[in-house]
Amino acid sequence: RRVQSQKPSPVSTDPALGGASVSFSQQGASVSATMLPLGAAGPSVMVSPDFTGSGNSRVTVGTPQGGKGSASRRNNLYQAGFDASWELDIFGGARRGAEAARANREAAEEALRDVRVTLTAEVARQYFNLRGAQASLDIAAKNIELLRGSLELAQSRFDAGLTTMLDVQNATAQLAASEAAVPGHAAEVQYAIHRLGVLLGGEPGLLQNELSSAAPLPAAPPEVPVGLPSDLLRRRPDVRRAERQLAAATALIGAATADLFPRVSLTGSLTGQDDALYGIKRNANMLWSIGPGVSWPVFDAGRIRANIRIQNARQEQALAGYEKAVMSSLEDAENALVAYAQEQNRLFSLEKSAAAGAEAVNLATDLYAKGLVTYLHVLDAERTLSAAEAQCVQSRANVLIHLTALFKALGGGWDVDGDSGENGSETAAG
């Protein structure tokens, strides 16, 4: 049986996911700001344009020849200019900076995906806890009915003078002990419902009506195609995030090293001037200039080399973090596989124990009714059955919880298109 990956539950309103989304948006804005001078394809020329413009109008008032009256004239002067500087990214400093920004954005994206996987796994785990607690509540109710029948049998035998009050008191004590377990299971049900409501971004009572009715635990798949270790490393968001952080740290070394070399730029300007008298153009001039520029921070070489050493140290730290993430992911996957397989083996044994315990209770009750055994035999059989059934319910929930842990350890699930035996993938079976 092959299991196909499913889309995660809608947990987008959870505060943890919201924080990761904000971080991803910030990294995306940083990349956009870094890549803007380079263009969509990231060329090796950065352009910094600047526009200027001005205009003025002058009115001159004077006395014409002859001394009579007055005369005025208007002189308008308009000037506009365009300056641009092209920095040639010859040594790749800007390209490496943009590469680091892209890697940081991708690392933030993987962090967001990691939060999604974690929240999805937590929702599934709490759901299985809920159904397990409801199943335990049902088992407790059935045991109470069984113990009430035993108490009635002991009471009837005592009334008939066939046994002592000791049997009645033992039956009463065991019934009260079973009834005392009910509030604990009921509380676990409410805890899980409240937790699920909060995980889905609502108030604790959000799912009270939908989840209050008991439902059976879903069946666990007998086999889980986990794939190859290389597939695991490609799926795990924490490993992918660590790899992107390493790529960003490596790119920053190149950006810091580029500061050791000169920066070459071309600067050009274009200026237009228009002079008009009474709306009649007199002069129209166009001025332009272009020239190269070189800057070389020779006296900052010590600071630049120190920054390179810092970036190298950060790259080594990122490499150590990546190696740790790889080894931790392999360990998590192996531990999850072992826990899932062994819990299935445990459940198989517990189911056999519960079946045998049910037969033992029936036999002990019949023999006690016939006076062939004491009530202690019935008491022991009922205790054994109650414990086995409770452990069975918890084990069924644990199998699904371990499956959820395996889902998380595998980076969010599995998706096998072909037969697992044909593509060489590993399979976990119970």
Reported as a single tens digit per residue, the pLDDT across 377-412 is 988 999 899 999 999 999 999 999 999 999 999 887
Residue ending a domain, among 239, 273, 295, is 295
CATH number assigned to the domain comprising residue 323: 1.20.1600.10
* Domain identity same for 150 and 281: no
Report if residue 67 sits inside a domain: no
User: Which domain, by its residues, includes 216?
Assistant: 15-42+91-261+299-429
Average pLDDT over residues 106-111: 94
* Domain identity same for 37 and 107: yes
* Domain identity same for 132 and 213: yes
Higher pLDDT, 231 or 86: 231
Angle, helices 93-159 vs 15-35, to 10°: value is: 170
- Whether 345 shows a pLDDT value over 60: the answer reads yes
Report if residue 61 sits inside a domain: no
DSSP-assigned letter for residue 304: H
Six-digit token string for 204: 């604790």
For position 5, what pLDDT does the model report?
37
* Domain identity same for 202 and 238: yes
* Domain identity same for 184 and 219: yes
DSSP string spanning 195-231?
Answer: HHHHHTTS-TTTTHHHHSS--PPPPPPSEEEEE-HHH
Average pLDDT over residues 52-57: 52
- Whether 37 shows a pLDDT value over 60: the answer reads no
pLDDT digits (tens, 9 = 90+) for 188-212: 999 999 999 999 999 999 999 999 9
For position 229, what pLDDT does the model report?
75
pLDDT digits (tens, 9 = 90+) for 133-171: 999 999 999 999 989 998 999 999 899 888 889 999 999
> Residue 284 and residue 271: Cα distance in Å, rounded?
11
The DSSP element (H or E) to which 160 belongs, if any, is none
* Domain identity same for 287 and 333: no
* Domain identity same for 191 and 112: yes
Report if residue 10 sits inside a domain: no
Average pLDDT over residues 301-323: 95
* Domain identity same for 113 and 244: yes
What percent of the chain has pLDDT above 90? 50
pLDDT digits (tens, 9 = 90+) for 225-249: 777 777 878 889 999 999 999 999 9
Average pLDDT over residues 42-70: 50
- Whether 73 shows a pLDDT value over 80: the answer reads no
Whose tokens are 């008032």? That residue is 61
- Whether 415 shows a pLDDT value over 60: the answer reads no
pLDDT digits (tens, 9 = 90+) for 274-298: 655 445 455 556 677 777 777 788 7
* Domain identity same for 379 and 316: yes
Count of domains forming the chain: 2
Lowest mean pLDDT among 69-73, 227-231, 301-305: 69-73
Residue ending a domain, among 295, 311, 342, is 295
Report which listed range, 57-66, 92-101, 414-423, is most confident.
92-101
For position 68, what pLDDT does the model report?
53
Report if residue 4 sits inside a domain: no
> Residue 35 and residue 213: Cα distance in Å, rounded?
55
Considering Cα of 400, then 404, then 410, then 412, what sign does the dihedral take?
positive
* Domain identity same for 322 and 251: yes
Report if residue 255 sits inside a domain: yes
Average pLDDT over residues 72-80: 56
Report if residue 9 sits inside a domain: no
Residue ending a domain, among 295, 319, 350, is 295
Report if residue 68 sits inside a domain: no
For position 208, what pLDDT does the model report?
93
Report if residue 8 sits inside a domain: no
> Residue 86 and residue 83: Cα distance in Å, rounded?
10
* Domain identity same for 281 and 401: no
* Domain identity same for 139 and 255: yes
For position 80, what pLDDT does the model report?
62
Residue 89's pLDDT band, with cuts at 50, 70 and 90, is: confident
- Whether 418 shows a pLDDT value over 60: the answer reads no
